[in-house]
Amino acid sequence: MGNTMGRGVLLVFCAIFAVVFGAGGYWAGLRPLAETALAAWTVRSWQPVPAQVLDVQLKQHAGSEGGTAYQVLARYRYAVAGQTYEAQRVGLDPNSRADNVGDWQAQWHRTLRQAQERGEFITAWVNPRAPAQALLDRSIRWRLQIFRLPFALVFTGVGVTAAWMFLRILRRPQDDVPDLEPTHSLAKGQGALWFFAVFWCGIAFPMAALFWSDGKGPWWVKGFMGVFVMIGVGLVSAAWQNSRKAWRYQGVGMTALPSRPTAGRSVEITLVLPARAVQQAGAENLYLQLAQYRVDESSSGSPERQVEVLKATARRQPTGEGGMRLVARFDLPDDVPTHGARRGGERVDWRLELVRADGALELAYDLAVEASTPSWAEAASVPDSFDRRAQWEQEVPIEPPAFGQDGAPSALDSPGMVKSAESPGFFPPGVRLSETPDAWSLAFEQTAWRWSAAVALALLALEWWVNDRIQPGALVLPSGFWGWLALLVLPAWALHAATRRWTLRVQDDGLVVRRGSWVWSHVATLPGESSQSLVRKLQYTAGGQAYHAVLGKDVSGHSQMLTPRLSGTAAAQAVGQAVARAWLDRRGRFTPGAQRPQVAAHSRAAWGGWAWLLAFGLLVWWAHGGRAVWWAGRSAVLQAPAAVASSRIWAPADARLMDAQNAGDASALAQALRDGANPNLLADSGSSVLMLAAHRGLLAHVEALLQAGAQPDLRQTAKDSERGDTALLRAFYGGHLVVAQRLVQAGASLQARNRWDWGPVHMAAQSGCVPCLDWLKEQGQSLTEPAPASRGETPAMLAAAKGQVAVLSWLDEQGVDLSQKDPHGKSALDWARWGGQQAAQEWLEQRARPR
């Protein structure tokens, strides 16, 4: 009953995956790829014909994740053999769809719009056998094809695999007995490894190609995608190596007597190797071992650790086919746990392993080992010496130092050498031992902390770069919570991590442990005799490597860490013995009554570091504008006790220039410029004098400033609250066409956009300047361009929000779709309601009524 139900669940599961992924791979990948290839082959013989653009639109479609997809729609007319035809097809895709892969849609919309406005002809490719069939672009959009590859490869692959599993389960008889022949590790993981490698590469390679082929993409994104490509190459290489090894051991056989080994008894293992495995290099040194593993199934990836290895000498017997039979007998201990049981929160795995002489694993078989006690009573009745939880609490005593022949302790042979039977001959990397007249000192490198300091500074620099904090002559402070958090926390952490030190001094009156930085200081003192009873304790593990620390007890009996984490037990053993030897050496030099620096145990802030942070904060304040405030304060004290109108100090000519601009006095403004005033002077608001003059439409002011060298494209970026306008955008916002034309003549760019992505058309639409819009249309500016940095609004929506009915009527006459919606689903009518513009609302509602 249970077998039938499980089989039915698997069939349903496989069927769903086969249908969903197979259909997705076909419709989103295989089918459009095939259609594009067929269309490219078909149109290669089509003939070029001049065509006239009748209409062109760029439709926008809101994506599922907030993105916007674009679709160019066109209608054009051409003549063949005296007969006129109209067509709408632009690219190879016969069923034009919206997408946001590259800017192909926007480029064709721009090209066709310019051709229509200028009355120019474009080239259409016409089928000579059927002149009614035509298109404008017969080139393959390779970036779009690359985008479709993951669907074609990955989705279709998953669907085909699921369909194959469905058929295999369906054709297998329900009462079929599974194959009892044991399967080795190479055969088990081969298919899964190839499937994962193809799945990874099928997504990573096309996505990397998309980013790498995008000339506007940032370099760090392209480099980041390169990491995924390298991982894919590594996966394919690993799958290939695994397949080669599996082919080499194809036909290997394993038998165990008894088939279910029991604790406290012997088991005889026979492994028959094929001829290909015997003929490989190093085959004569292959040996068998029985290993116990603990697998943590609660963690991602199920990490495992080898806790016990049983070895035995194998007998070698050649076979008639050129192979080799390895026979080994293993004596199982009495306390072995059952294969598959749970001990200490981990699963127990027993594996028979074929190993090379250098310890490299060739293949492994699961072995069904059984404990001497029932599995339900096993965990409670048998103590587990490999419980990882017990390892974390265990404190292992460090061996006392060796003594010489005269019974005295042998001294340190050199500052870097420690003699011990089980410890390495020299200190582990990162530990530096030195002797001074007062003490032996051990300094421990803090490499990980240095890297964290570099990361913190890199994150701070990235935040400043992304938000454009450093401006010419100013520093823009953050306005949000996360920006202030980065500015306050990251420098403090970088200072702490970059200056962190860990030293251990062995003096004649005891041990002193210092660990801290310029930001925080921690000192612990221990009696010297505690060095003779040091212990090591496991702190953490990473990548199969255990890291231990050396601990000692202070006068109150509490354990104190004497060292940071050291790689391996031998390293901790060596350092602990060095401390014990150093104390025996210093104790012999104890001088009663000698003056020694008194060090008190503490854990507190290090005020020197906070002074540095305070200095950093003052520097930021100074760069942001504190310098001007300070000088203004000094000026106010030195001047008469009259109220100071502004905190800013103006040069005399600059002050007269600003006064002339505010008063609208062109002659005074020209005189101030001749006296040396800065033509790019910024007001307290962050706007330049040229922006202020353009906004008010003061043509004489604009002319004088441009003649004096004012920059026409200077952006307003001195403050986060400003939009980042240019003088040209300000001129259109004020509705001054003549001033705008003079700025363009001086080099101002019509492609300028502020922080909200508002361009000249957006500004002119808000001002109600229909002549401005007429002129901008003649310059090829789009009348429907959205502002993605804001809410995706178009000029028509901004005009509606400002109540500019004349602009709305003019846009309607130009064929602009006033019912178009922004990415949030709001039309121009919604914007008019939001702006409280009753007249615009009524006009749009009346226009929308059926006539």
Residue 426 has a pLDDT of: 61
| Domain annotation covers residue 804 | yes
Asked if 296 and 302 touch (Cβ cutoff 8 Å), the reply is yes
Structure tokens, 780: 């090829």
b or e along 540-565 (b: 16 or more beta carbons within 10 Å of the residue's beta carbon)? eeeeeebbbbbbbbbeeeeebbbbbb
Assign 395 to helix, strand or coil: strand
Q: Residue 423 contacts by C-beta under 8 Å, 6 or more apart in sequence? A: 570, 571, 573, 574, 577
Give the domain extent around 287. Answer: 253-392
Tell me the CA distances in angstroms from 522 to 467, 606, 607, 712, 812, one per residue in order: 37, 9, 13, 58, 74
43-57 pLDDT, tens digit each: 999 999 999 999 888
| Domain annotation covers residue 403 | yes
Residues 377, 407, single domain; the answer is: no
Count of C-beta atoms within a 10 Å radius of residue 679: 19
The CA-to-CA distance between both ends of the chain, in Å, stands at: 70
Asked if 440 and 505 touch (Cβ cutoff 8 Å), the reply is yes
Indicate the pTM of the whole model: 0.44
Residues 345, 408, single domain; the answer is: no
| Domain annotation covers residue 226 | no
| Domain annotation covers residue 286 | yes
Residues 277, 409, single domain; the answer is: no
The residue among 346, 370, 392 that closes a domain is 392
Residue 451 has a pLDDT of: 93
Structure tokens, 795: 């000029």
Residues 335, 365, single domain; the answer is: yes
Residue 642 has a pLDDT of: 36
Residue 297 has a pLDDT of: 80
Q: Residue 107 contacts by C-beta under 8 Å, 6 or more apart in sequence? A: none
The residue among 604, 629, 651 that closes a domain is 604
Residues 373, 405, single domain; the answer is: no
What percent of the chain has pLDDT above 70? 84
Residue ranges of alpha helices (H) inside 213-274 are 219-248
Q: Give the separation between CA 707 and CA 701, rounded to whole angstroms.
A: 10
DSSP of 476-544: ----SHHHHHHHHHHHHHHHHHHT-EEEEEEETTEEEEEEE-SSEEEEEEE-GGGGGG-EEEEEEEETT
Residues 258, 332, single domain; the answer is: yes
| Domain annotation covers residue 380 | yes
Structure tokens, 727: 């003088």
CATH of the domain at 348: 2.60.40
Residues 786, 827, single domain; the answer is: yes
Residue 140, φ and ψ in degrees, nearest 5: -80, 130
Residues 412, 358, single domain; the answer is: no
In a 13 Å sphere around the CA of 550, the CA atoms on its Cβ side amount to 26
Domain count, the chain: 3
Assign 50 to helix, strand or coil: strand
Residues 340, 409, single domain; the answer is: no
Count of C-beta atoms within a 10 Å radius of residue 689: 30
Q: Report which residue type is found at 381.
A: S
Q: Report which residue type is found at 602.
A: H
The residue among 392, 411, 438 that closes a domain is 392
Q: Look at the block and give the residue holding tokens 């930085």.
A: 517
| Domain annotation covers residue 324 | yes
In 3D space, the residue among 521, 511, 496, 526 whose CA is nearest the CA of residue 603 turns out to be: 521
Residue 17, φ and ψ in degrees, nearest 5: -65, -40
Residues 522, 432, single domain; the answer is: yes
Cis link prior to 258 (omega < 30° from 0)? yes
Residues in the chain with pLDDT values less than 70? 1-6, 62-67, 172-181, 189, 214-218, 300-301, 373-383, 389-391, 402-426, 468-476, 479-480, 543-544, 593, 595, 597, 608-610, 612-613, 616-649, 717-722, 850-851
Asked if 512 and 599 touch (Cβ cutoff 8 Å), the reply is yes
Residues 387, 304, single domain; the answer is: yes
Name residue 559's beta-bridge partners: 553
| Domain annotation covers residue 569 | yes
Asked if 290 and 360 touch (Cβ cutoff 8 Å), the reply is no
Structure tokens, 573: 């053993």
Residue ranges of alpha helices (H) inside 119-184 are 142-150, 156-171
- DSSP state, 253? E
Asked if 291 and 386 touch (Cβ cutoff 8 Å), the reply is no
Residue 761 has a pLDDT of: 95
- DSSP state, 283? G
Residues 332, 386, single domain; the answer is: yes
| Domain annotation covers residue 504 | yes
Q: What share of the chain is helix, strand, coil (3-state, %, to 5)?
A: 45, 20, 35
- DSSP state, 787? B
Torsion angle, alpha carbons of 371, 376, 379, 382, to 10? -50
Asked if 78 and 52 touch (Cβ cutoff 8 Å), the reply is yes
15: left (phi over 0), alpha (psi -120 to 50) or beta: alpha
809-827 pLDDT, tens digit each: 999 999 999 999 988 889 9
Assign 152 to helix, strand or coil: helix
